[in-house]
Structure 1
C-alpha cells in the first residue's frame, strides 16, 4: 500500500480512546522508523481559537482534521470555542480539547450572574460586555466585588503555554491555523521549543494586514521566525512572507474541499452569497449591484451568514428599494444543501486569503462571479471557470450578474469548468497528500523526545 506521503506502508488496526479502530501505517524507510518508532501512528496537534462552521479558517481546520483521521493520522484539536454543531460533525477519532482559561470561566460566571439577576439593574451589555476574547474591565471589577477576589483581566497566556506543552508530549507535529490570536502563536512557539516539537504556522488572511498586526509584537515575530515552516493559502502571501522570513521554509498549500455530487442542470433563479457579513466581504457593493441589475423578474438575492454589518446591510436594502428581492437567511448549517441547488454564486470581496465558500460553490458546479483579488485569482480563471470583476465596482458586478442570469449556456459552461478545476487542484484528497508529505519531512528533521 502507498501512503499519501508516497511511502510504501503496511497497515494494522489499533483501538482508539473511543473504542473505534483506526488504520495506522508503518513506513518501510529506515529514517522514518528510527525517528518515530516501529508501529507509531503519526500524531498531529491542531490549534485554532474558535471551532465553528462559518469561519473559513475553522472550516478548513475541521476538513483537514477529518481527512487526516481517515488517512490514519491521530489528530487532536485544541480550541476555545467548540460549538455543539462542530462537535457533532467531528469524527469520534478526533479528540477536541477545550481550552478552559480564566477568561472562559469569567464568561460562564457572567451568564450565571445575569440569569440570577445578581448584577445591578444599570448593567449594560455595551459597558460590561465581552470584547473579542477579553471580558471588559468594568465587568471584571463588578464581578470581583461580588465573588470577593481579584480576577485576571486577560487570558492567561502561561496557562495556554502549559496546556500546549502537555499536549506536545504526545504530538509529532503542531499545526497552528491562523495568526489572528497572537497569544496562541507566542505560547505555541515557547511550548514547542521547550519540547523540541516542530510547529507549522498557517497564514490565512491578507498578508499586509497580517504583517501589520505581527510587527507591532516582537515576540509574535520571533515566534514566526523560529517556526518549522509557514503555510500560505495563496501565492502572493507565500512570496510576501518569503521576503520577510527567508530562513523559514514557506509552503503554498491551497484550501481544499470535498467533491459533492454535481447539481442537476436547471434554470437559475437565485443569486447566492455565503460568508461573514463584514466589510471585507463587500456585501454592500453586491447590494448596490443588485439594485442596478436588469434581471428583476423572479430572481432573488440570498444572503447566508451573519456578522457585524447585518443591520446596516438590511437598512441599505430598504434604502435601495430592493428589500423584496433580498433575503437574509442568517447562519445556516445546511450549506451543502444550499449550494446543491442551481444558483449563481457571488463573492464581492475587498480582499481574501483563499475563500472556502468560493471553492465549495465551484465544486458543486455553480457559475461563480468574484473580484480580482489575491486568493481568488489563484482559484478562478476569468472567462473560463468564472467571471472576475474589479473590487468596489458595483456597475461591473451588475453587468456580470446580468450576463450569467440571461445566458444559460454560458452559466452551464462556467459551472462545468469550475467543477473540473476544483477536482483537478483543490480536492481535499489532493491537499491531504501535500500536508502528509510536509509532516513527514519534519518527523525526520525533528525526532520527538517522546519516541526516545
Structure 2
C-alpha cells in the first residue's frame, strides 16, 4: 500500500493531536512495509524531501505561522492548499500513491487534494476530528457564515470520510449527502508510555489537564473542589494554559483552601503530564465540548478515576463508557462525584482495560483495514 498523508503541519516538528495521529499511524504502516509519504510545510531542518522514522517527508510549502492572534490563520490554510495542489497533482498523475489521506481542518487542503486527484483513480480519505456547526458563531463571530459554508462545502466534496467518534459521525451525516459510509477510527495513545511515565516530585490527588478555555468549565471544578475540602485533605493540580487562566487564578484566591490548588501552566514535556496523571487518584474535566477527549484515555491508562461531563456536545460518554464517572456539568453534580471518588468509588470497568482499545497499535490496524477497503473499492 502506498499511502500519502496531506497535513500542513508535521509531527514531531509541530505538536498537536491531528499531526500526532498521522505520525503514529504512518510509522506503524511503514514498519509493516507500506510506503508512506507526508506532504506538509517545511518545518524540519534539512532538505525539502527527507526520511523520518521510515516515512518520506515532502515539503510543498515553506514554514509559516499557523495562528493569527488566538485563531488558526485562514490565509495560511489557503496558502498551503494553493502551494500543495500542483505538486500533489504531479505525483498523483504519476500514479505514485494508492490512496491520499487528508486531515480536514483547516478544510482548504482537502479541497486542493480533491482537485489534484481529478482524472486519477486515487481515492481521497478524510479524517474529521470535529464538525463545528454552530460553534463557528462563537469562534468567528460575524465571520461565522464563512466558516459554516467552508465546512459544508468540504463535507459535500466526494470522499471516504473517517471520524474519531460517533458524535462527530452524527454531526457529519447531518451536513452531507448520504453517499459513502462514515467510518469511525478513534484517536489513540501509547498505553505503555503512559504506564512507564516518570512520577513527578509532587503529585496531586485530583488533576485537570487541558486548554483553559470557557467550555472546559474549570471554574466548575474549582467550586466543586472548594466544597469537598472540608471533608477531604485533597490537592488539585491544573495543567494547561489559555485565555481563561488569569480569571481562573483570580477565582482561586477566593477559595477556602486556595493553598491546595496549583496552576502548573503548559508542560512542554508530554511525559511530565502523563506522570502527573499516574500520580493522581482522580482526573476531572467537566468540559462540555469534546470531539474525542484524548486526556480521558490517557488518564484511564494511568489508572485514574475519570470524571467527565455528560453533555450532547461531548464524546466523553462514548470514550470512557463505564470505565469512568459521568456528571452533569454543574458544581453540585461534580461535588458529589468528587466526594464519592475520593472515598474510593471506582467505575465498573477497569480504566486501564478500557484504555487498551485506544492503543495506537490497535488504532493503526483499524486505519490500515479502512484504507485498504477504500483502495479495493469495497468501502
TM-score range, shorter chain: 0.7 to 0.9
> Which of residues 293, 316, 321 is equivalent to 1:376?
316
Rg larger in structure: 1
> Which of residues 249, 253, 256 is equivalent to 2:181?
249
CA distance in 2, matches of 1:220, 1:206: 8
Shift of 1:367: 1.1
Note closer, same or farther for the CA distance 1:157–1:226 as it changes in structure 2 (3 Å cut): closer
Determine helix, strand or coil for the equivalent of 1:320.
Answer: coil
- Equivalent residue pairs, number: 352
Note closer, same or farther for the CA distance 1:235–1:397 as it changes in structure 2 (3 Å cut): same
CA distance in 2, matches of 1:166, 1:286: 52
CA distance in 2, matches of 1:60, 1:289: 34
- Equivalent in the alignment of 1:283: 218
Is 2:29 the partner of 1:68? yes
The answer to whether the 8 A contact 2:86-2:116 is kept is: yes
Shift of 1:154: 7.0
Note closer, same or farther for the CA distance 1:165–1:54 as it changes in structure 2 (3 Å cut): same
- Equivalent in the alignment of 2:89: 165
- Equivalent in the alignment of 2:277: 339
Shift of 1:240: 3.2
Is 2:79 the partner of 1:155? yes
RMSD value over aligned CA atoms? 3.6
- Equivalent in the alignment of 1:352: 290
Note closer, same or farther for the CA distance 1:154–1:380 as it changes in structure 2 (3 Å cut): closer
The answer to whether the 8 A contact 2:207-2:280 is kept is: no
Note closer, same or farther for the CA distance 1:372–1:57 as it changes in structure 2 (3 Å cut): farther
TM (normalized to structure 1)? 0.67
The answer to whether the 8 A contact 2:25-2:367 is kept is: no
Note closer, same or farther for the CA distance 1:357–1:288 as it changes in structure 2 (3 Å cut): same
Structural mapping, 1:208-219, within 5 Å: 208-209=133-134
The answer to whether the 8 A contact 2:103-2:110 is kept is: no
Structure 2: stretches of 5+ with no match in the other structure:
46-50, 138-143
Structure 1: stretches of 5+ with no match in the other structure:
1-40, 85-89, 109-128, 137-151, 447-452
CA distance in 1, matches of 2:213, 2:206: 19
TM (normalized to structure 2)? 0.78
Structural mapping, 1:170-319, within 5 Å: 170-179=96-105, 181-193=106-118, 195-206=120-131, 208-209=133-134, 221-243=152-174, 244-260=176-192, 262=195, 269-294=204-229, 298-319=233-254
Shift of 1:217: 6.0
Shift of 1:427: 2.6
Note closer, same or farther for the CA distance 1:81–1:359 as it changes in structure 2 (3 Å cut): farther
Residue range with higher mean Cα deviation, 185-194 or 228-237: 185-194
Determine helix, strand or coil for the equivalent of 2:118.
Answer: helix
CA distance in 1, matches of 2:80, 2:126: 21
